Amino acid sequence: MRPSWFKTEEDRSLPLQAVSRGQRGRSFLDKTLSGITGFLKDAIFTSEWVTQKGLLQCIEPKSKLIGILFFILTVSIVKGISILFSFSVFSVILAAASSIGIIPFVRRVWLFIPFFAGLIAIPAVFITPGEPLLSFFGLIITRQGMISAITFVLRVAASVSFIVLLILTTKWDHIMKALRVFRIPPLFVLILSMTYRYIYLLLSTVEDMYIALLSRTIKGHSRKEGQKWVAGRIGFLFHKSRRLSEDVYDAMVSRGFDGEVRVMDNFRMKMRDYVWLSLSIGVFILQIIKI
């Protein structure tokens, strides 16, 4: 592993793409590992917005978590495409007010979620009885089925938008501590926290192994050789992760770990936190009354 001072900024952000930039064609390994690491780092491990001075960053984590959950509950019960679209627009406004770039936020939510949600909703377009709208290879698309599919996609996209806002504007440790408000068992919180941390660690290990492979290789790898290398690294990584979990737990116990996860930061609610909670709970109650 190269020391941190030896790496350029480009190496730190995109190590796999950087080492293969001079190649005309990208190998199976390069495409696979670059895609996985790039997606995980961009979707899960980005922390550049947590330290920004925005609206959601200033809200106390427990209040923020409760408010986001109420918005998600509201999205799950409301009916009507226009209302769901309004919640999606509201999430974009919250992102802009929290100093999150609108384009990166929309790209995270709307490039992948509608596609996968749409695949799930496709059968509803054909099997939902109602007024015929189009005929497609003998299959009838109904108006009610199309409305149901669009409603489902918007509901999923709006819910994911609020979850992404929570992740992008809150430190992971603070999210874990805020979960204790709901009396979630400490063991579950510990497992979730450790999983988040060590996915990143094992991901960096995979990158280091691949960079080491490239540094010892003159010519490119064929697809078969790449698949064989991946299979061998999967077994090695499983063994390494098992040993790592045992070593980390022994180290924690030796330092007095008693099963309780403690975060040094103290949470104190302010007026803006009460306003945030009142807004989220008020919107939820309003939709309940309408139903």
Q: Which residue has the higher pLDDT, 75 or 26?
A: 75
pLDDT at position 41, please? 60
Do 189 and 251 belong to one domain?
yes
Do 90 and 32 belong to one domain?
no
> With 0-12 CB in 10 A as exposed, 13-18 as middle and 19+ as buried, what is 110?
middle
pLDDT at position 257, please? 73
Do 161 and 227 belong to one domain?
no
pLDDT at position 218, please? 66
Do 274 and 155 belong to one domain?
yes
pLDDT at position 19, please? 45
Q: What is the mean pLDDT of residues 251-273?
A: 76
Picking from 80-84, 136-140, 144-148, 162-166, which range would have the lowest pLDDT averaged per residue?
Answer: 136-140
Do 67 and 165 belong to one domain?
yes
pLDDT at position 86, please? 92
Residue 21 pLDDT exceeds 60 = no
* pLDDT level of residue 135 (50, 70, 90 thresholds): confident
pLDDT at position 285, please? 92
Residue 8 pLDDT exceeds 50 = no
pLDDT at position 253, please? 82
- Residue 271's CB is within 10 A of a number of other CB atoms, namely 7
Residue 30 pLDDT exceeds 70 = no
pLDDT at position 7, please? 46
Do 150 and 271 belong to one domain?
yes
Average pLDDT score over the chain: 77
150-199 pLDDT, tens digit each: 888 889 889 989 988 998 888 877 887 788 777 777 777 777 777 777 77
Do 113 and 254 belong to one domain?
no
In terms of average pLDDT, the best of 15-24, 93-102, 105-114 is 93-102
Q: Which domain holds residue 135?
A: 56-170+266-290
Q: What is the mean pLDDT of residues 61-79?
A: 92
pLDDT at position 46, please? 60
In total, how many domains does the chain have? 2
Q: Which residue has the higher pLDDT, 207 or 8?
A: 207
Q: Which residue has the higher pLDDT, 183 or 43?
A: 183
Handedness of CA 198, 201, 203, 209 (dihedral sign): negative
pLDDT at position 99, please? 87
Q: Judge whether 16 lies within some domain.
A: no
Residue 252 pLDDT exceeds 60 = yes
Do 42 and 70 belong to one domain?
no
> With 0-12 CB in 10 A as exposed, 13-18 as middle and 19+ as buried, what is 63?
buried
Q: Judge whether 62 lies within some domain.
A: yes
Please say whether the beta carbons of 111 and 180 come within 8 A: no
Of the candidates 265, 277, 283, 284, the one whose C-alpha atom is nearest the C-alpha of residue 59 is 277
* pLDDT level of residue 261 (50, 70, 90 thresholds): low
Do 81 and 212 belong to one domain?
no
Do 271 and 208 belong to one domain?
no
pLDDT at position 207, please? 76
